[in-house]
Structure 1
Amino acid sequence: MISRLRGTILEKQPPIVLLELNGVGYEVHMPITCFYKLPEIGQEVILLTEFIVREDVQLLYGFNDNQERTLFRELIKVNGVGPKLALAILSGMSAYQFVSAIEQEAIAKLVKLPGIGKKTAERLVVEMKDRFKKLNGDLFNNSTIDLHGAAKQNSHDIKAEAVSALISLGYNRQDASSMIGKVAKATNCEALIREALRAAL
């Protein structure tokens, strides 16, 4: 079980970050809401991880703190919610926003997330409400997203990278392009993805 990594960031391609640890590169999939908080390429970072093993694939999912990882673990216990969908959910909403949506039974907000239909949204509300009662309250503290110092990129490259990231989260290309087009004033890829996801809600 790989539960924690401390290494140097080699590449950042939302939603994947490549870390080098003792000469070995680890590809880690992260919710976009966690990806925003990463330091710049070349800097060191500590990530809490969840190692998912399936018959045909082995993937590492990374998080900035234990609360985010705990919520991911609880999500993948829900019937019909796998790691990819859990990643999409936590990319479209912060942990705080997701918990609020569940507590308010905001089905309309949940179905705006990729891969979430009405039945899945209703199941999430029912099952996650029960799970939240057993979790520590500090799980739901909202944290500040820091985007200072993000590298400047060509405008076309920023948009293309942002669209690609949304597609990897489950949006189709047409919807992803439309979402990015509506918030095209953002100055870097991470900000563009953040604003597109926020606008979608």
Structure 2
Amino acid sequence: MIGRLSGLLLEKNPPQLLVDCGGVGYEIDVPMSTFYNLPATGEKIVLLTHMAVREDAHLLYGFGTAEERTVFRQLIKISGVGARTALSILSGMSVPDLAQAITLQEAGRLTRVPGIGKKTAERLLLELKGKLGADIGAVGGVMQHDAGADILNALTALGYSDKEALMAMKQVPAGAGVSEGIKLALKALSKG
């Protein structure tokens, strides 16, 4: 398995790259989030990779960060989500945005990604709930998302609809703790 490549960037043709590693040119598909952060052609590049071996092809996917590769691997485990769809999701949303959409169960944010319909979005929400946040937690983004989920659960337990609770959540600052977040959300709901 090829887990990392280091070499010269020869070509950039979205979403594919050609990277020269010791005289061998590797074709690598990357999400647009990685593509936008690439150096100029002819410069040195380091990519974390995922290799997929199929009957008819050996395919290489590259990522600029470990969390992108981790999320890609989580996505392709889901039935009906292939590598192309996973790249499309990572191209359309940042990893923290995806984690927040999963935590808050916002299918609408996922359906904005080209190629993701309502059923696929619902399957993603169901399959990734609890998995994605744990992986992101190692990077430090999970505290806000867990607090957000706890605040959302508290509001729905108090009888507010999901829509009302999500609207109130928009008034809560990102770093707020659970108790402070609930107070701010209730204050926003009382004004509405």
- 1:113 aligns with 113
CA RMSD of aligned residues (A): 1.4
Q: Is the 8 A contact 2:89 2:113 kept in 1?
A: yes
Q: Is the 8 A contact 1:67 1:140 kept in 2?
A: no
Q: Is the 8 A contact 2:9 2:42 kept in 1?
A: yes
Q: Is the 8 A contact 2:71 2:132 kept in 1?
A: no
Q: How far does residue 127 in structure 1 lie from its aligned partner after superposition?
A: 0.9
- 1:79 aligns with 79
Q: Distance in 1 between matches of 2:98 and 2:91?
A: 10
- 2:128 aligns with 128
Q: Distance in 1 between matches of 2:16 and 2:114?
A: 18
Tell me which amino acid in the other structure corresponds to 2:39. P
Q: Distance in 2 between matches of 1:100 and 1:138?
A: 15
Tell me which amino acid in the other structure corresponds to 1:74. Q
- 1:3 aligns with 3
Larger radius of gyration: 2
Q: Distance in 1 between matches of 2:132 and 2:103?
A: 9
Structural mapping, 1:1-201, within 5 Å:
1-139=1-139
Q: Distance in 2 between matches of 1:140 and 1:77?
A: 24
Q: Percent identity?
A: 50
Once the two structures are superposed, residues 44-92 of structure 1 have per-residue CA deviations (whole angstroms, 9 ceiling, x without a partner) of 0110000011112221000012111011001111111111110110011
Q: Distance in 1 between matches of 2:139 and 2:83?
A: 19
Q: Distance in 1 between matches of 2:140 and 2:131?
A: 13
Q: Is the 8 A contact 2:99 2:133 kept in 1?
A: no
Structure 1 stretches of at least 4 aligned residues deviating more than 4 Å after TM superposition: none
- Unaligned 5+ residue runs, structure 1? 142-201
Aligned length: 141
Q: How far does residue 135 in structure 1 lie from its aligned partner after superposition?
A: 2.1
Q: Is the 8 A contact 2:72 2:87 kept in 1?
A: yes
Q: Is the 8 A contact 1:107 1:121 kept in 2?
A: yes
Q: Distance in 2 between matches of 1:22 and 1:49?
A: 17
- SS in structure 2 at match of 1:135: helix
- Unaligned 5+ residue runs, structure 2? 142-192
**Aligned CA distance change for structure 1 residues 55 and 139 (closer, same or farther; 3 Å):** farther
- SS in structure 2 at match of 1:130: coil
TM-score, scaled to structure 2? 0.70
